[in-house]
Structures are given as structure tokens and as C-alpha cells.
Amino acid sequence: MRAIEHVEERLEHELADVLWSVIVLAERCGIDLEAAFVQTMGELDARIRPE
């Protein structure tokens, strides 16, 4: 793996940009992002939880 200068700062910026994009898209599409997140995480948790 190659070394990247200021990798943490660059990654912070890119992740914030992606998050902003997701929030804007959800808002414009009328999606309740909080509800979708909670539902999806519940489904994922149910799949990986030991029985």
C-alpha cells in the first residue's frame, strides 16, 4: 500500500462530502433517512445475531 500525505485529513474531508451527498439525496427524494437507517441496522443485526 502506498503512503498518502495527510491521509486522515483527506479521508475526513471525503467522508464528510459523501455524508453530505447522502443527506441531500435523501431530502430531495423524500426519504426519512433516520427511519431507514434504524430499520436497516435492525435487519442487519437480526442477520448476524447468534441464535
- Give the DSSP letter string of 1-51: ----TTHHHHHHHHHHHHHHHHHHHHHHHT--HHHHHHHHHHHHHHHHS--
pLDDT of residue 31: 98
Task: Name the average pLDDT for the chain.
Answer: 95
Whole-angstrom distance, CA of residue 41 vs CA of residue 16: 21
2 pLDDT tier (thresholds 50, 70, 90): confident
Check pLDDT > 90 for residue 50: no
Residue 2 and residue 40: Cα distance in Å, rounded? 35
39: left (phi over 0), alpha (psi -120 to 50) or beta: alpha
At 4 the pLDDT is 87
